[in-house]
Amino acid sequence: MLRKQLPIVRKMIGPSRFDTDSEYTALAEAYRFLVPLINFWYPAIKLAGKEKQASGRYKKIYEKDPKTPYQRLLDSPDVSKESKAKLRGMAASLNPVELKKAFDQAGNALLQLNREKGNTLSTSA
């Protein structure tokens, strides 16, 4: 998993610590569904550059069209045609609605294991 994907994982799964063997297994099951969702269907805006302003601060400039990591690979001239064909086959075989439902179930099972362990996060500030 890419380092840039960590905020997405924390947002989708939560900040709890999962340190038992059963939690590790449940987390791996959740990742099995989350990674294809992120890579094939969740677009991201990429930083195109920075401009230095007169004040000395920098203004970030982003790409106009958000793309998924899958789309970026298909657009890349460095990826072989065979690899692109394999990616297209993978994308065609995946159903985003089913993946999201399966991820939600796996995530709920993971959170239930965490609650049973007694590591509930306080929602009060």
Question: For the chain, how big is the Rg over CA atoms in Å?
Answer: 19
The pTM (predicted TM-score) of the whole model is 0.74
User: Please, which residues have CB within 8 angstroms of residue 17's CB and are 6 or more apart in sequence?
Assistant: 119
Number of Cβ within a 10 Å radius of residue 14 = 13
**How would you write the pLDDT of the chain (125 residues) with one tens digit per residue?**
455 556 777 777 877 778 888 888 988 899 899 999 999 999 988 899 999 999 999 999 999 999 999 999 999 999 999 999 999 999 999 999 999 999 999 989 988 888 888 755 544 43
Could you give the dihedral angle defined by the CA atoms of residues 82, 87, 89 and 95, in that order, rounded to the nearest 10 degrees?
A: 180
Taking a C-beta distance cutoff of 8 angstroms, is the pair 94, 37 a contact?
Answer: no
